[in-house]
Every structure is written in structure tokens, then in C-alpha cells.
Chains A and B, each alone.
Chain A
Amino acid sequence: MTVRDQISEIIESQPVALFMKGTPSFVACGNSQRALSALRTAGAPVTAVDILPDPSFRQELSALSGWPTVPQVFVKGELVGGADIVEELAVTGELERKLTEALGEGFGDAREERVIALAAA
């Protein structure tokens, strides 16, 4: 599967996809950390994808989303934003509302954090 197909499959299939620099256990960028913390605070079931291992990951992600920076957060296939937006939405409570709307009450019950690795072409 091409990198772009892998990315779009993750976006479509994961309730909450976080494309980030590093992984939740080894975050490699302050902004990725901000996004992750905001999602954790809201109790989101995060699926994290590290875009650092290959330059094509970042290129294909931005080509697909039309969003130039990383991190990028998708909820049920929809781009919610980068670190600034997710942080702002978390502070106002809008993030939890969005998650409830998209994923239903009890979206945080699983409390699971997953990591999916992309394969370079």
C-alpha cells in the first residue's frame, strides 16, 4: 500500500488519529506534546502515528490534508486541527463535546492509546 493510502486508511478507520513527531512514549516535539496532552485531558482514545521515520510520511500527510504543519488531529476522519486548535478546544470544553458528538458518550471508556507505524514505500 502506498504511504498516502496507509495514511488515509488510518484517518478513516481510527476514532482519533494524532499524526505527530515521535510517539506518546517518546514525544519528539513540543507541539506534538501539547496536542497529545490536550487529547489525554479530554480522555480521547488516541491512535498515534509517528511521521518522523521517513520524510515521505510528512509530505503525504500534508498533501492529503492540505495542512502544512505537524501535529494534525483527526476525529472520525475530520481534521480538527493542530496543537493550537486542539489546545484551545480542550480549554473551552469544545473538544469533549466534539468527541461525544462524533464517538458517542463513553468515548473515553477504553482509555486506550495505540500506535500505528507507517511503512515507507
Chain B
Amino acid sequence: MTGQKRKRNNRRSYDPAVATEPLEALLQQAFPDATELAVVDRTGGGDHFQVTVASRRFEGLSLVDQHRLVYDALAAPLSDGTIHELRIKTKGTA
């Protein structure tokens, strides 16, 4: 099984914060009470992210509804293609 290989032709130096900070800011806005908030660039390519948020807002919600809140917060970068892949981990604070 060969899927398409993604070529990384220009190996310039890259600061992951450039990609993760705007997403962190959006999440901070949406979850001002977050007790944990992290965005990790999983591949170093600036488009595959792991997001972790712990907030009281998640309590009592199904995982689907919890993730929907995260998708809502990141709607802009999701729709404009900034985020190619997103992994989400949500937690309540209880």
C-alpha cells in the first residue's frame, strides 16, 4: 500500500509557535476559564494539530458536543485550510 507521499521540498527552519499561537489565542477566547490549554504541531508542518482543552464548559456534555465547541472556536482556520488535520482531547475540570 503506497498512498501518496507528501514531499517536503523546502526544509527551511520553522518555529512551531508561528502556527500554534493563533490557534491558542482562538481557544483562549472561547474558553477563558480553561485550566489546561495546549496546541501541539504534531508533524512540524504547521497544519496537523493536537489540541487539548480542559474547561468547566465541557461538563455534562457528550464528547460530540465537547468537540463541537472546539470546532466552533477554530471554525475559521478549519474552513480556510490552515488546519489540515485536528486531533482533539477535551476534559472537564471536575
- Chain A residues within 8 Å of B, Cβ to Cβ: 26, 28, 31, 66-69, 79-85, 88-89
In the assembled complex, which residues on chain A have CB atoms less than 8 Å from the CB atom of B75?
Answer: 68
Q: How far is A77 from B11 in the complex, measured between Cα atoms in Å? A: 45
Closest to B85 in A: A31
Beyond the given pairs A84-B67, A85-B67, 18 more chain A to chain B contacts, judged by CB atoms under 8 angstroms and listed by A's residue number, are: A26-B1, A31-B85, A67-B64, A67-B71, A68-B71, A68-B78, A68-B79, A69-B71, A69-B85, A69-B86, A81-B63, A83-B87, A84-B88, A84-B89, A85-B63, A85-B64, A88-B63, A89-B63
Given A28-B3, A89-B63, do A66 and B68 touch, yes or no (CB 8 Å)?
Answer: yes
Q: Could you say which residues of chain B place their CB within 8 Å of the CB of A67?
A: 64, 68, 71
Q: Which residues of B contact A (CB under 8 A)?
A: 1, 3, 63-64, 67-68, 71, 75, 78-79, 85-89
Complex contacts, A79 vs chain B, CB 8 Å: 64
What CA separation (Å) do A60 and B94 show in the bound complex? 37
SS class, residues of chain A in contact with chain B: mixed
Q: Chain A nearest CB: distance from B88 CB in Å?
A: 5
Specify which chain A residues have a CB less than 8 angstroms from the CB of B3 in the assembled complex: 28
Give bound CA distance, A69 to B63, whole Å. 15
A6 to B67, CA, bound (A): 26
- Specify which chain B residues have a CB less than 8 angstroms from the CB of A31 in the assembled complex: 85, 87
